[in-house]
Amino acid sequence: MKAIDIKGLTKTYGQRTVVNQLNLTIEEGEFFALLGSNGAGKTTTIKMLSCLLAPSSGQATILGYDLGQAEEKIKSQINLSPQETAVAPKLSVKENLLLIARLYGYSKKEAEEKAAEMMTTFDLTERQNDRAKALSGGIQRKLSIAMALISQPKILFLDEPTLGLDVRARHELWKTIEALKGKTTLILTTHYLEEAEALADRICIMNKGKIQILGSAQEIIKASGQKNFEEAFLAYTEEGELA
């Protein structure tokens, strides 16, 4: 089944079109990356697909449900790990996970089990009693992703999950994200080109609200005629060039 099917998705603010006639299909289980310069429309796209922002026009189905008509159904099957880490700073690692599990309607016992499972998967058990604010940025991000996965979403949107992390923490988080590959449909936005290149099955480069190219990193390099992915990205996001 298609995880996401978008036809002509558009968002305008006044006279400005920030997402312009997007057509895109993402298969279930795919790891998909959205790349683009600042203001390209990545976050706006993700917000529309996760029911946080109403499109101005166009259509999309998420797991077969129409966006704008089956919001509750869609929301129950997706989750978003936002740009800003969404942990409660004064709560411990375990308390953060329990809180989300209870919000999703798990019983006390189930919530305990879920939290324990997540802490094992994300290697957080040793830190379970530490307050979130005492964790490094990388571990906070890990916790944030673990929290987003508690509801077992079929689609997880990761909006710049490694923003501001140092190289080591970023690589650590990549391993965590990579382990999710195939189990959950993953839609990632990032400014780190090597992140998309290393993790994603397919990459979409956006510029000024439009898709410039879509394919695997190798396909994009080949189509651009450039030497490597960074140069291909620059070519596709440069005005008047390949774009």
Chain residues binding ligand ATP by CB under 6 A are: 13, 18, 36, 38-44
Q: How far is the CB of 144 from ligand ATP (least distance, A)?
A: 17
CA dihedral 223, 189, 141, 123 (to 10 degrees): -50
If the CB atoms of residues 140 and 189 are measured against ligand ATP, the closer one turns out to be 189
Q: How far is the CB of 28 from ligand ATP (least distance, A)?
A: 24
Phi, psi of 186 (to 5 degrees): -115, 130
Q: Write down the residue that tokens 């324990």 correspond to.
A: 116
Cβ contacts of 26 within 8 Å, gap of 6 or more: 2, 3, 4, 5, 32, 185, 187
Q: How far is the CB of 206 from ligand ATP (least distance, A)?
A: 7
If the CB atoms of residues 146 and 205 are measured against ligand ATP, the closer one turns out to be 205
Other beta carbons within 10 angstroms of residue 155's beta carbon come to 23
Q: How far is the CB of 1 from ligand ATP (least distance, A)?
A: 27
If the CB atoms of residues 44 and 185 are measured against ligand ATP, the closer one turns out to be 44
Q: How far is the CB of 15 from ligand ATP (least distance, A)?
A: 11
> Which tokens go with 207?
């510029």
If the CB atoms of residues 38 and 129 are measured against ligand ATP, the closer one turns out to be 38
Q: How far is the CB of 42 from ligand ATP (least distance, A)?
A: 4
If the CB atoms of residues 13 and 84 are measured against ligand ATP, the closer one turns out to be 13
Other beta carbons within 10 angstroms of residue 25's beta carbon come to 14
If the CB atoms of residues 85 and 151 are measured against ligand ATP, the closer one turns out to be 85
Of 183, 184, 223, nearest in space to 203 by CA? 223
